[in-house]
Amino acid sequence: MTMLEMLFLECPACGAPHTDFSFLSFHVSGGEQWSDGEQYAQSPMPSDADKIGQCARCGELFWKENCLRAPAHSLREALDSPGAFSPELRSLAHRVEQAERAGTLIPRCEWQGRPDEHEAEWDELQILDWRGLLDGRIQNTPSQELLIRLNLWRAYNTLKGRPLGESPLRWVAHLASRPGHYLRHLVRRDRLWSKHRPDYLRNLDELDKLLATSDIDSIDSLALRMQAARERGRFALARQLLAQLAQQGCPESYLRPARRMIALRRRGCYLLR
């Protein structure tokens, strides 16, 4: 069962109060995991994108962990017995209360969602969003940069593995949907993908450096580096990392080639379970 907690936070730039929520608990059912670390589940679960917000009033991008952010019950308590809470929290509680009265509190659905008209290019938007977080508009610690680059990689892989039927050229998509048709080959070289490829490879280089010094659990880090090395065509390094994984007794699913072949057709990497 998924349980959510109602939160309030303020924009670090202009102080506008927003509502938000966090996951108190969640249950993953029917999940699958890919060798780039991407996970899908039928039930709602926390996503990395949710760690970042953009102010609905001034447009500032921010890491939520750097914000003044508190659950609804703490703010109520801060108003009832102010002596027990920090001045910052009391100030947030007052601002939220004022905004609620004035009707200016910004509900989460208005600031964390995406405009519908972008749905068609969703895959590419994901890439542009994550890449935009590396352009210097927000300050990232090494672990925050690692999280951005991992998600950028996963967004590229999703674009790479986009089903043929979703080609922007509809007539090509229609013909290419026929088994054995020669146009399948053309669609596979998605124009979008070739446009992004140089940045995709640059991202993998930077990602590898960050993973090599990260404190991610060593099996996960080795497995991600191994996948990144394969995608960059650095097969000697990939073999070396694979040997280290086997030594550390990693799950068999990382090492099973048959599964890789099936999954390579679906996304730009392979399915683990």
Binding residues for Zn ion, per CB under 5 A?
A: 11, 13-14, 16, 55, 57-58, 60
Nearer to Zn ion, 56 or 192 (CB): 56
Q: How far is residue 90's CA from residue 79's CA, in Å, rounded to a whole number?
A: 7
Q: In angstroms, what is the minimal distance from the CB of 260 to Zn ion? A: 45
Residue with smaller CB distance to Zn ion, 60 or 220: 60
SS3 readout for the chain:
CCEEEEEEEECCCCCCEEEEEEEEECCCCCCEEECCCCEECCCCCCCHHHHEEECCCCCCEEEHHHCEEEEHHHHHHHHHCHHHCCHHHHHHHHHHHHHHHHCCCECHHHHCCCCHHHHHHHHHHHHHHHHHCCCCCCCCCHHHHHHHHHHHHHHHHHHHCCCHHHCCCHHHHHHHCCCCCCHHHHHHCCHHHHHHHHHHHHHHHHHHHHHHCCCCCHHHHHHHHHHHHHHCCCHHHHHHHHHHHHHCCCCHHHCCHHHHHHHHCCCCCCECC
How near is the Cβ of 66 to Zn ion at its closest, in Å? 13
**Smallest separation (angstroms) from Zn ion to the CB of 110:** 13
C-beta closer to Zn ion: residue 92 or 250: 92
Q: Are 185 and 239 in contact (CB under 8 A)?
A: no
CB of 46 to Zn ion, least distance (A): 23
Give the HSE-up count for residue 241: Cα atoms under 13 Å, Cβ half-sphere: 22
CB of 8 to Zn ion, least distance (A): 14
Q: Which is nearer to Zn ion, 39 or 98 (CB)?
A: 98
Q: Least separation, in Å, of the C-beta of 67 and Zn ion?
A: 10
Report the nearest approach of Zn ion to the CB of residue 56 (Å).
Answer: 8
Residue among 33 and 54 whose Cβ is closer to Zn ion: 54
Residue 24 vs 58, nearer CB to Zn ion: 58
Measured from the CB atom, the residue of 13 and 243 that comes closer to Zn ion is 13
